[in-house]
Amino acid sequence: MRKMIIVLLVMGFVMVNMVGSLFFYKKADAAPKILNISHQWAKGDIRDLWVEKWAELVTKKTEGAIELRIFPGQSLFKTKAQHDAMRKGALDASVLPLIYLSGRIPAYALTSMPCLIKTAQQGANWGDHEIGKRLYEIGVNEGGFRTVSSITLLGSVGSVKQPIILPSDMKGLKMRGAGPATEEMMHAGEAAITSMPGSEVYFALQTGALDALMTTYESFVTFRHYEVLKNLTVSKTHSIFSAVHGILVSNKTWDKLAAPEQRAMTEAGREVEPHFTKLSEDIVENTIKIYRDKGLEVYSIGEKEFNAWLDLTKSTSFKTFAEKVKNGEELLNLALEVK
């Protein structure tokens, strides 16, 4: 009897260890979920660094259950193809200026409305107000994605001809805007408008197809526009142009994730925003230094010049958005509430 008890105890010990080993190896061998992220910018661009940090935090928070692979410089999908790829489930996530989506989602024209966001922190504050919630819901319901993190990059205008300090300086220039709102404002300033992705601007400036452009300070540097421009207009406190960017996750991918994984993505997105908002502000100073070091003329604008741009925008882009976009007036007023 005693021998039988010993045998049973030994067998039980062996079985417990076998089950434990199987559980361990099953957990250790479980392959992580591989998710692909596409964007258009070069390695080291703020938007690339931003999504890298977010991806690192997601992997850490999910204890390796999710691995995010980043494909910069349009190496996986071309810029214009990214949104459709997410809608179809062919791409898991992307980093985009939300204005790129305004053709399909008219309300997103607000995200690059001239003179609406004057500082990066003001743009960051959208996330804590009703306007941020409304734009998020529109993305989910109309765009097929979740915005898990957002930052605002400030911008301005650069030219190969005369400096552009006031709206009247645009007259007769061939200019590239950044979406319908900026283009309408430029057209009212008697500029000829040419639309193209940011990746094509350098060649257009070099060949004379463009005289000037409006874009973010980061793009003025990472796309090396200082090699072809002659001057740049800047402001640290009264930005005439800004672009809200988002890390977007496809709804099709999102729906396949477990609730803790979804939560990890959202938490990581919020955690990286303050650092990159501060970095966005620092980029303005860095761009000024780089352009001056390259021998370009840099012109500053203050409240007086800003108000001239604001007056033109109110009579054009603000007015059109309020009248023609669904719930446009309400959305514009919600955005104007944020300081």
Supply the pLDDT for residue 121: 95
Spatial contact of 195 and 217, defined as CB atoms under 8 Å apart: no
Q: In terms of pLDDT, which residue wins out, 160 or 19? A: 160
Residue 30 has pLDDT above 80, yes or no: no
Q: How far is CA 238 from CA 80, 121, 156, 211, 303, in A?
A: 30, 12, 10, 23, 7
Least confident of 39-48, 194-203, 230-239: 194-203
Range 97-116 average pLDDT = 95
Q: What is the pLDDT of residues 267-279, one digit of tens each?
A: 999 999 999 999 9
Supply the pLDDT for residue 294: 96
Q: In terms of pLDDT, which residue wins out, 328 or 3? A: 328
Question: What CA–CA distance (Å, rounded) separates 204 from 174?
Answer: 10
Q: What is the pLDDT of residues 147-190, one digit of tens each?
A: 999 999 999 999 999 999 999 999 999 999 888 899 999 999 99
Q: How far is CA 298 from the centre of its chain?
A: 26
Supply the pLDDT for residue 13: 42
Nearest Cα neighbor of 94 from 83, 110, 84 is 83
Supply the pLDDT for residue 236: 86
Range 49-75 average pLDDT = 97
Residue 60 has pLDDT above 50, yes or no: yes
33 forms bridges with which residues in the sheet? 66
Supply the pLDDT for residue 11: 44
Q: For the chain, which residues make up each domain, given as ranges?
A: 32-336
Spatial contact of 47 and 41, defined as CB atoms under 8 Å apart: yes
Spatial contact of 190 and 170, defined as CB atoms under 8 Å apart: yes
Question: What CA–CA distance (Å, rounded) separates 211 from 230?
Answer: 10
3-state per-residue secondary structure call for the chain = CHHHHHHHHHHHHHHHHHHHHHHHHHHHHCCCEEEEEECCCCCCCHHHHHHHHHHHHHHHHCCCCEEEEEECCCCCCCHHHHHHHHHHCCCCEEEEEHHHHCCCCHHHHHHHCCCCCCCHHHHHHHHHCHHHHHHHHHHHHHHCEEEEEEEEEEEEEEECCCCCCCHHHHCCCEEECCCHHHHHHHHHCCCEECCCCHHHHHHHHHHCCCCEEEEEHHHHHHCCHHHCCCEEEECCCCCCEEEEEEEEEEHHHHCCCCHHHHHHHHHHHHHHHHHHHHHHHHHHHHHHHHHHHCCCEEEECCHHHHHHHHHHHHHHHHHHHHHHCCCHHHHHHHHHCCC
Question: What CA–CA distance (Å, rounded) separates 102 from 79?
Answer: 14
Residue with tokens 């976009």: 325
Residue 17 has pLDDT above 50, yes or no: no
Question: What CA–CA distance (Å, rounded) separates 117 from 330?
Answer: 17
Q: Sorting pLDDT into bands at 50, 70 and 90, what band is 29?
A: low
Question: What CA–CA distance (Å, rounded) separates 264 from 62?
Answer: 7
Residue 12 has pLDDT above 50, yes or no: no
Residue type, 88: K
Phi and psi torsions of 211, nearest 5°: -105, -25
Contacts of 193 (CB under 8 A, 6+ apart): 175, 176, 177, 183, 186, 187
- Quick one: CATH architecture of 32-336? 3-Layer(aba) Sandwich (3.40)
Residue 15 has pLDDT above 70, yes or no: no
Residue 280 has pLDDT above 50, yes or no: yes
Neighbouring C-beta atoms of residue 16, cutoff 10 Å: 10
Supply the pLDDT for residue 10: 39
Residue 221 has pLDDT above 50, yes or no: yes
Q: Sorting pLDDT into bands at 50, 70 and 90, what band is 261?
A: very high
Q: Sorting pLDDT into bands at 50, 70 and 90, what band is 21?
A: very low
